Amino acid sequence: MNLKRKITNYGIAFLIILSLNFLLPRLMPGTPLTAIYGEEVLVQMTPEFKASLIKRFALDEPLYKQFIFYIFSLFRGDLGYSYYQSGSVFQIILAHLPWTFLLVGFSLILSTIGGIILGIESGWRRGKITDKAILTGMMTLSGFPSFFMGIMLLLFFAVNLGLFPLQGARTPYADIYGIWLVLDVVKHFILPLAALVLVEVSGCYLLTRNTMIMTLRKSFILTAKAKGLPDKKVRYRHAGRNSLLPVVTRTGIKLGTAVTGALFIEIIFSYPGVGNLIYSSLLMRDYPVLQGTLLMVAIFVLAANFFVDLIYKKLDPRVQNAY
């Protein structure tokens, strides 16, 4: 029942994105071709090329046929054609995706683990000086928008101190291999990652701390203490484990916003991920790439959320009966 409802939700969400993607350019004034590619590009296109595009996306057909065509081409992995980068949108996105995965994945893992540990320790020491210090620090951190955090790290560590490269994911045209290549990538990776982790960690921390405080009031904590378990086991095995559930849900939901958060960081560090792709296509008004990216990100987020739903069942035995 619950699972069915979830799938319906994902279905509806997917449909909304698809329709928006399809409708937005076609609702703009002018021919769809103008809307999809923009005035500037059309001027440069040859009539034959235009005709081939119209044929490829069935732009001379009525709207519903266009939609059917659109869906079919999506299933073929055809997300459109980028005139600027003269290539398939799908291929372009695919080339950028790994960098974003790297950034989002690592930052999510680090910020979640960091947030959970800090949250558990802070909640456990509630009201003590350590807790107050961590809480205040985290609250302050939560005020920094990702792009400002990125800029500050960039200005301080890269520009002023010169410790890290200014931009990119690796040194361009450098002829390096093996371990040196890895080191080079890591060097480029640290600042964007740090910025993202700093921005993300406070949310996870606050949630963990709150649930921790509530969990600590439960009777089973008293049972655990009465059993003579050492503090650490009470804190992690009993209190922490129970505080984990909402955090995991949140991390799932966060997957979507993490891509967004990474977007600004990628722009600032010119990190060649999907976010940067969005930005550069925005600057060039490369709308097909923009749309394709949105679709890919949406699918990715939906999949991630679904995955979290599955994990959740493993973590909380009570949920199993709900299905």
**CA quadruple 314, 248, 106, 289: dihedral sign:** positive
Choosing from 18, 45, 110, 151, the residue that interacts with another protein (CB under 8 A) is 151
CB of 253: closest distance to another protein in angstroms?
Answer: 7
Dist. CA 11–CA 145, nearest whole Å: 32
Q: Which of 30, 31, 71 is nearest to 53 (CA)?
A: 31
CB of 227: closest distance to another protein in angstroms?
Answer: 4
Nearer Cβ to another protein, position 19 or 91? Answer: 19
Q: Which of 45, 44, 72 is nearest to 57 (CA)?
A: 72
- The binding track of 90-129 with respect to another protein, each residue x by CB under 8 A or -, is -------------------------------------x--
- The binding track of 304-323 with respect to another protein, each residue x by CB under 8 A or -, is -x---------xxxx--x--
Q: Which tokens hold the place of 293?
A: 């990216």
Interface with another protein in residues 22-61 (CB under 8 A): 24-25, 28
Q: Could you tell me which stretch among 11-19, 85-93, 175-183, 187-195 binds another protein (CB under 8 A)?
A: 11-19
290: Cβ–Cβ under 8 A, 6 or more apart, which residues?
Answer: 278, 281, 282
Q: In 3-state terms, what secondary structure has residue 108?
A: helix
The number of angstroms, rounded, from the C-alpha of 268 to the middle of its chain's C-alpha atoms is 16
Interface with another protein in residues 227-246 (CB under 8 A): 227-230, 233, 237-238, 241-242
Binding of another protein by 198 (CB under 8 A): no
Interface with another protein in residues 262-281 (CB under 8 A): 263-264, 267-268, 278-279
Nearer Cβ to another protein, position 69 or 144? Answer: 144
Choosing from 257, 270, 312, 313, the residue that interacts with another protein (CB under 8 A) is 257
Dist. CA 16–CA 311, nearest whole Å: 26
Alpha carbon distance, N-terminus to C-terminus of the chain: 6
Binding of another protein by 163 (CB under 8 A): no
Nearer Cβ to another protein, position 40 or 180? Answer: 40
Binding of another protein by 256 (CB under 8 A): yes
Binding of another protein by 147 (CB under 8 A): yes
Backbone angles phi, psi at 87, to 5 degrees: -170, 170
The radius of gyration of the chain from alpha carbons, rounded to an integer in Å, stands at 24
112: Cβ–Cβ under 8 A, 6 or more apart, which residues?
Answer: 200, 204, 247, 251
Q: Could you tell me which stretch among 70-78, 91-99, 110-118, 283-291 binds another protein (CB under 8 A)?
A: 283-291
Nearer Cβ to another protein, position 89 or 267? Answer: 267
- The binding track of 284-303 with respect to another protein, each residue x by CB under 8 A or -, is -x-x--xx-xx--xx--xx-
- Alpha helices in the chain, H assignment, sequence order: 2-27, 32-37, 39-44, 47-56, 63-75, 89-124, 129-141, 146-153, 178-216, 219-226, 231-233, 241-268, 274-284, 287-315, 317-320
Query: Binding-site residue total for another protein (CB under 8 A)?
Result: 77
Interface with another protein in residues 126-145 (CB under 8 A): 127, 139-140, 142-145
Choosing from 2, 3, 7, 16, the residue that interacts with another protein (CB under 8 A) is 16
